[in-house]
Structure 1
Amino acid sequence: MTVPPAHRAFEDLVAEAVAVPTEGWDFSWFEGRATEERPSWRYARSLSGRLAGAGGAPLPFADGAFDLVVSRHPVRPHWAETARVLAPGGTYFAQHVGPASVFELVEYFLGPQPESVRRARHPEDERAAAEAAGLEVVELRAQRLRMEFHDIGAVVHFLRKVVWMVPGFTVEAYEPRLRALHRRIADEGPFVAHSTRHLFDARKPSTAP
């Protein structure tokens, strides 16, 4: 009889998660152990259609070199540079990480975060920054997406891989909280968090204002 991961021993689950390599951006290990809802706009599919009609340019990039600039989960959007390299009428099409993403998990380990941290990457702040750089925001859509961690091993591997969530995370440093969360998942079911995403469709005006 197979024991569900959540009901396996804490030490076994943690040892398994610690042994998994964290290099690269492969999340296949989470299959059956954690889930994340995807945005309804299906960014990759939408992007493929736009790329089919876009042209490129050689390095270095001149002013107005591109009719399409794309980005998925930039750490910090470079609005002025994006506006510079876009041709008049060109488009910036991107999916950004939103504010307080997966903060249920972050705050479980770090405690309540200040409002300035929770608001970072707010879509309306980014809209203002894009418009200040001279772009017109054609569409801005935001979603809050359900995530589930089905066992403590999934939590450990996630925090080892996505290192900015709980900076300096180690099993040793957070063992009491990890053990408490392991018991909670076994008793109550998956730990639920929410990621946040927003879709940007912005345009460089065809003519200067």
Structure 2
Amino acid sequence: MAPPAPRTFDELVAEGAAVPTEGWDFSWFEGRATEARPSWGYSRSLGGRLADAGAVLDVQTGGGEVLDCALGAVEPRRPSLLVATEGWPPNVAKATELLRARGVPVVASPDDAPFPFADGAFDLVVSRHPVVPHWSEIARVLAPGGTYFAQHVGPASVFEVIEFFLGPQPEGARNDRHPDRERADAEAAGLEVVDLRAERLRMEFHDIGAVVHFLRKVVWTVPGFTVEAYRDRLREMHERIETEGPFVAHSARHLFDVRKPHA
């Protein structure tokens, strides 16, 4: 039997444009794109933190997948109080559906709004890839001695993809989300940075459908991305992948372990 014919540019683009983007489940990319994971294993480490905590807030939970995975590893050793927030309505619905079985309420709260919780309500605040860490609010809702444990997106993350579509970016854009700047902001809010680690990790896109889906899902990579607006550049990248192999980029991640000092 002859092998199936390679899919065309139009077929791959149409497939990438049709896949739903809700939540942070990236299983669709299996076999089509890869990203190395940080050495600290955030989900595994989060499970250990949850097992030792009493009251926990998960900020910008996405579709709830990371929290659900971490809880699955520690049940029945779980916090007595656990609540999540999310700002994007499709993700609110997805996270609510997923986390309901865990007994975790999901509060719809805009990403740039103050947290709708009392001062000192939590001994652990967690987040994976927040859009912007609101350090003053994190400090406010943490109890004295409480911890913020989070994985952030670092500077110049996936810049190879960004600059392929948008052209060279100013130096200031490359330093956005820099861990040293975020450390200074955390300390200015009265928090103590106990540990801060950063890694740069290899990514590979094996077909243009994966690129289209990634840009639709991670919307801040190329703001306003549509297939129609970038069809010519997508075709150029497709031809490059066909000729040279996977398109290689690098993600940036850093891990914050932050404590609110006792009075």
Q: After TM superposition, is the score higher than 0.5?
A: yes
Deviations 1:164-196 (A, max 9, x none): 211221222112211111111111110000111
For normalisation by structure 1, the TM-score amounts to 0.91
**Distance in 1 of aligned mates of 2:28 and 2:3:** 18
Cα deviation for residue 58 of structure 1 reads: 9.4
Aligned to 2:7: 8
- Which secondary structure state, in structure 2, belongs to the residue aligned with residue 90 of structure 1? strand
Aligned to 1:38: 37
**Distance in 2 of aligned mates of 1:12 and 1:107:** 25
**Distance in 1 of aligned mates of 2:195 and 2:19:** 40
Which residue among 203, 206, 209 is the counterpart of 2:259? Answer: 203
**What amino acid maps onto 2:212 in structure 1?**
V
- Which secondary structure state, in structure 1, belongs to the residue aligned with residue 196 of structure 2? strand
Cα deviation for residue 61 of structure 1 reads: 3.2
Structure 2 alignment gaps of length 5 or more: 56-80, 84-115
| CA gap 1:58/1:49 in 2 versus in 1, 3 angstroms | closer
Following TM superposition, where does structure 1 have runs of at least 4 consecutive aligned residues deviating by more than 4 angstroms? 57-60
**Distance in 1 of aligned mates of 2:18 and 2:258:** 43
Which protein, 1 or 2, shows the higher relative CO under an 8 Å CA cutoff with sep ≥ 6? 1
Cα deviation for residue 85 of structure 1 reads: 1.8
**Distance in 2 of aligned mates of 1:13 and 1:149:** 13
**What amino acid maps onto 2:121 in structure 1?**
A
**Higher mean Cα deviation, 41-50 or 8-17?**
8-17
Cα deviation for residue 82 of structure 1 reads: 1.2
> How many residues were matched structurally?
205
| CA gap 1:173/1:61 in 2 versus in 1, 3 angstroms | closer
**Distance in 2 of aligned mates of 1:88 and 1:195:** 34
Cα deviation for residue 131 of structure 1 reads: 0.5
Aligned to 2:108: none
Cα deviation for residue 144 of structure 1 reads: 0.6
**Distance in 1 of aligned mates of 2:7 and 2:37:** 29
Alignment of 1:56-71 (within 5 A): 56=55, 61-71=117-127
Which residue among 202, 207, 212 is the counterpart of 1:156? Answer: 212
**What amino acid maps onto 2:3 in structure 1?**
T
- Which secondary structure state, in structure 2, belongs to the residue aligned with residue 8 of structure 1? coil
Which residue among 170, 177, 183 is the counterpart of 1:114? Answer: 170
